[in-house]
Structure 1
Amino acid sequence: MYAPSLLSITIFLPLLGVFCIFWMNDKNEAARNNVRAVALLTSFAVFIMSCIGFAVFDPSQSEFQLEESYQWLEGFNSTYHVGVDGISILFVLLTAFLTPLAILSTWHSIQVRVKEYMIAFLALETTMLGAFCALDFILFYLFFEAVLIPMYLIIGIWGGERRIYASIKFFLYTLLGSVLMLVAILTLYHYTGTSEISMVARHTLPFDLQKWLWLAFFASFAVKIPMWPVHTWLPDAHVEAPTSGSVILAAILLKMGGYGFLRFSLPLFPEASQFFAPLIFILSMVAVVYASLVALVQKDMKKLIAYSSIAHMGFVTFGIFTFSTQGIQGALFQMISHGLVSGALFLCVGVLYDRLHTRDIDQYGGVVHPMPHYAVLFMIFILGAIGLPGTSGFVGEILILVAAFKVSGWMACVLGLGVILSAVYALWLYGRIMFGKVGKPAVGKLQDLTIIEKLTLGPLAFLVLLFGIYPAPILRTSEITVEKWAGLLETGESNRGDL
């Protein structure tokens, strides 16, 4: 048995931490440590709640579970309706797992306005969890848009020299796409008379209407993921964001675009999704190759990892629109794996930046000598990024490539080229930083990982290796839901009321 409000408690528990921190002061180091401790304990409690939800979740059922539904906005016929299925439960876990690690990584790096930073971070966690659990269009839109506010503040206040430019660019890009999605949501409400996602899914929409609605949702999700050519906000946001902001941005916020495609575009607009699939394939292939080539010439470590994220998300969008069980499961696994790997890579960059205050690759070399423990963990994440067998990155990529071959052999070869290029730029990055002689005196004096840094990177390395060797927990959790969706898309069945 489980508490009937388990999901709501999980979603809004971070706000309890916000309330507590609001009344605290951060005038001295001891007070700031108390603020950090409350934020960390709150986020860890959210992780425990998400684990309880996962424990009572039944992966053999394709229907939504842990559902809660309460009437609100009565004049608009909208409900507070939350629940999880085999797909959303994984993103809830990923969010709840990474947030305390990201907060822990700020223990020494964030020294200014610590109280406000932790409030923004916990508020961000609530909005992300709410977006993954919402089963009402209006509720989803509120959470989906609310994500922008704390992330905008995190980049704009605690970011680098060009933080204002990066935060405004991030906000405008994502807001513009979301406005079009709001128009589509209002159109669906006018056409169906409800904002309940399951009720909307019971209606068979005309093909012409599907196409326009699909494009409106696409505008929002393509920017969020981000797809080429609406990707240019991401490198700037990553470079200027503080380390923990980059972790959440890469590991969670980008996945909201892929989740949107899975939750809305495919099941609600199946005919339009099939119609626009060739467009998605072309944009995905361009993203994989283009972003990989751009990553090859980067000298800023953060910017290189940002472009690698764009390339990896190209695999995700291609896999989703193959409409096959292998492709969709591969895309889902790739998103979870990328969340772990990319988050870890940004943490690794943060470790070096905290010591030498530069992300310029040319300023390093021979780091393996003073930091052997760091070198081992960094290597695990690099191998995960290039999809080496035995790491989590391999499972998602191989499933997507198999599904891609069934669609088109030459398209699969283009994606395969992306795999090769990822190995080139990732190993080039590692080699330039780690190997060779210690060229600069400051590098030779670097201290190896602290206890806090080991506590943040260690669990990520463990999961990258665990899911590479034993991917069953992720695949088994999502299998029934994905098979059902893929089956409906293949048969063209119109009754999708329980999606």
Structure 2
Amino acid sequence: MQETGFPVLSLLIFFPLAAAAVLMLSRAGGFAARMFTLCAGFIEIALAIPLVTRFELGNPGWQFAEHAEWVPRLGLSYHLAVDGVSYLMVLLTVLLLPLCVLCSWTYITRRIKEFHVNLLFMTAACVGVFTALDFVLFYVFWEAMLVPMYLLIAIWGGDERRYASLKFFLYTLAGSTLFLAAIVAFYAQTGTFSIPELMNSEFSRTFQYWTFGAMALAFAIKVPMFPFHTWLPAAHVQAPSAGSVVLASVLLKMGTYGFLRFCLPITPLAADYFAPLMIAISIVSIIYGGFVALGQKDMKKLIAYSSVAHMGFVTLGIFIFNQRGLEGALFVMLNHGIVTGALFMMVGAIYERSHSREISENLGLGKYLPAFMGFFGLFAVASFGFPGLNSFVGEALVLIGAFQDNLLIGLLAIPGAMLAAAYMLRLGLKMAWGQPASPKNRGWADLNLREWVYLAPLAILTVYLGLAPGIVMKVVSPSVGKVLADYNAKLERAGVLAEDEATPRDMAATQLSAAGLSLEETSNDLDAALAAHR
């Protein structure tokens, strides 16, 4: 485990908390609160620079580790670190803070200071979730993020904000209770809350079934997977733009992160046993989300249901248990956060002009708002996986992994990709070339400088990661290889996977992982191992 003398992860957590406290205690008004939070967001990005410059590509283990005893008698510790599974989500969370401030600049007109306090607090909690390696610490951050999101919907949401916020809170709280029960069960078995120690522990099959069930329900609600998805459209439609961005780009990923971080390493026997059920639910989510999105008239609701489908690809990639599937799942997590976050920002931008999220009220914009429709078209085609853009890579990898695992699974997932093209092209065509019901949109202004500033970085990432996905592969592949190697090794020890069922590459990967070596950096040795096996 690579430790660092510079506590970059702690700074990324506690700086926004400190900024939130300062802002809350200040008398800052609207403009001052916005500027303070915007500056804090740029400082947060600057604090993350060491993560970018000092992250070791090809290292599958924990990096930037920080460890201190918290309550030794209870086995509690303050333990933070990142690996290829969590690294990119931390960077995405940090990037979104100033962009959320900018996209809310004129959207939020009341209780402005409190709104930005919630954004800062949310950022700290989300970074904490992706970096915590102590179960209690993880749970503290997991629960902490519910409060600001609930407030963002309940206070700054739409007309039905009370219903939406209460539904969001009750669903996620029910899942959190099950997750807490699993944490207590693990502690009762081992006497530790250390996540790395629990990953190295082995539990009975029955115990794994129960704990997997509790965790899987909690994570399925958070994703959300069908049939636990009903809170998501309500929350998205009623949330302010920044709330929808954080919800789609970061919060949904915590469920899939939980599957990958906890269910596979800690309860592998249960994950293997329930994999057919999880794959079936994932395919239902993909197809159901696509069909329902195709019939929506509200832009936000359409994008919300598209998220159900896209996150179905993530869970499908996770539970097919192969290298391409897991790499694709992480790609989709990152790129869905970029593209869907951008689409919610654009819906917020057009809502400020038309005061309506109905597709029928926002037709024919290509002629009068060319820059707006240029960005919207880019993100719309990226959303359904157009080749050359970022989402294509992740979905292609998941489909490749699905076909490698089972031909039927791959065939059943294909309609989901086709439906995504159908509903996003329908939306884009109507907004660009549809016949307006009234000429009111002729007077709307095109994108201003502030809107260019918060859309341009996401557009650049959309194109760059589509044309040059290799940098993401170098980050995620070693950690994914280690997760799979450890997973297969535990199945072999339990007699679920016979030694002769493992491929030569899997066995070589297991040996390399046990030696702490990188799959990327030892490709020559791997080829030699394969030749020797033959």
**Fold agreement, TM-score > 0.5:** yes
Name the aligned partner's letter for residue 433 of structure 2. F
Quick one: distance in 2 between partners of 1:146 and 1:116? 16
Contact 1:54 / 1:89 at 8 angstroms: preserved in 2?
no
Alignment of 1:110-129 (within 5 A): 110-129=108-127
Quick one: distance in 1 between partners of 2:367 and 2:317? 41
How far off its partner does 1:431 sit? 1.0
Q: Deviations over 1:74-108 (max 9, x none)?
A: 33211010011111111100100112101111111
Contact 1:14 / 1:123 at 8 angstroms: preserved in 2?
yes
Counterpart among 121, 130, 148 of residue 146 in structure 2:
148
| Corresponding residue number in structure 1 for 2:358 | 360
Gap runs ≥5 in structure 1: none
Counterpart among 435, 442, 445 of residue 433 in structure 2:
435
Name the aligned partner's letter for residue 348 of structure 2. G
Quick one: distance in 2 between partners of 1:295 and 1:438? 22
Counterpart among 331, 334, 341 of residue 333 in structure 1:
331
| Corresponding residue number in structure 1 for 2:421 | 423
State the secondary structure of the residue aligned to 1:108.
Answer: coil
Quick one: distance in 2 between partners of 1:83 and 1:365? 47
Counterpart among 318, 336, 344 of residue 316 in structure 2:
318
How far off its partner does 1:389 sit? 0.4
Quick one: distance in 2 between partners of 1:20 and 1:342? 31
Counterpart among 295, 298, 301 of residue 300 in structure 1:
298
State the secondary structure of the residue aligned to 1:80.
Answer: strand
Q: Deviations over 1:182-231 (max 9, x none)?
A: 01100100100100011122221001100111011101110001000000
How far off its partner does 1:45 sit? 1.3
Alignment of 1:71-470 (within 5 A): 71-470=69-468
Contact 1:329 / 1:478 at 8 angstroms: preserved in 2?
yes
Q: Deviations over 1:31-85 (max 9, x none)?
A: 3111111111112211222232121111222211111111113332110100111
How far off its partner does 1:10 sit? 1.1
Contact 2:232 / 2:304 at 8 angstroms: preserved in 1?
yes
State the secondary structure of the residue aligned to 1:286.
Answer: helix
Contact 2:4 / 2:65 at 8 angstroms: preserved in 1?
no
Contact 1:224 / 1:253 at 8 angstroms: preserved in 2?
yes
Name the aligned partner's letter for residue 167 of structure 1. S
How far off its partner does 1:3 sit? 4.2
How far off its partner does 1:2 sit? 5.7
**Which of the two has higher C-alpha Rg?**
2
Bigger mean CA deviation after superposition, 248-257 or 59-68: 59-68
Q: Deviations over 1:222-249 (max 9, x none)?
A: 0001000000000000000000100000
What CA RMSD, in Å, does the superposition of the two structures yield over aligned residues? 1.5
| Corresponding residue number in structure 2 for 1:70 | 68
Quick one: distance in 2 between partners of 1:78 and 1:488? 25
Name the aligned partner's letter for residue 15 of structure 1. L
| Corresponding residue number in structure 2 for 1:24 | 26
State the secondary structure of the residue aligned to 1:25.
Answer: coil
TM-score by length of 2: 0.90
Quick one: distance in 2 between partners of 1:17 and 1:440? 46
Name the aligned partner's letter for residue 7 of structure 2. S
Quick one: distance in 1 between partners of 2:413 and 2:49? 35
Quick one: distance in 1 between partners of 2:472 and 2:340? 18
Name the aligned partner's letter for residue 76 of structure 1. L
How far off its partner does 1:17 sit? 1.2
How far off its partner does 1:4 sit? 2.9
Q: Deviations over 1:370-427 (max 9, x none)?
A: 1000111101100110100000010000000000012221221121100000100000
Counterpart among 37, 47, 50 of residue 49 in structure 1:
47
Instruction: Give me the identity figure in percent.
Output: 42
TM-score by length of 1: 0.97
Number of aligned residues:
494
1:15 aligns with 2:4: no
Q: Give the 3 Å change call, closer, same or farther, for CA 36–189 of structure 1 in structure 2.
A: same
Name the aligned partner's letter for residue 19 of structure 2. G
Name the aligned partner's letter for residue 222 of structure 2. K
How far off its partner does 1:493 sit? 5.6
How far off its partner does 1:437 sit? 3.5
Name the aligned partner's letter for residue 140 of structure 1. F
Contact 2:354 / 2:361 at 8 angstroms: preserved in 1?
no
Name the aligned partner's letter for residue 144 of structure 1. W
State the secondary structure of the residue aligned to 2:326.
Answer: helix
Quick one: distance in 1 between partners of 2:479 and 2:313? 21
Quick one: distance in 2 between partners of 1:104 and 1:73? 41
State the secondary structure of the residue aligned to 1:254.
Answer: helix
Bigger mean CA deviation after superposition, 53-62 or 88-97: 53-62
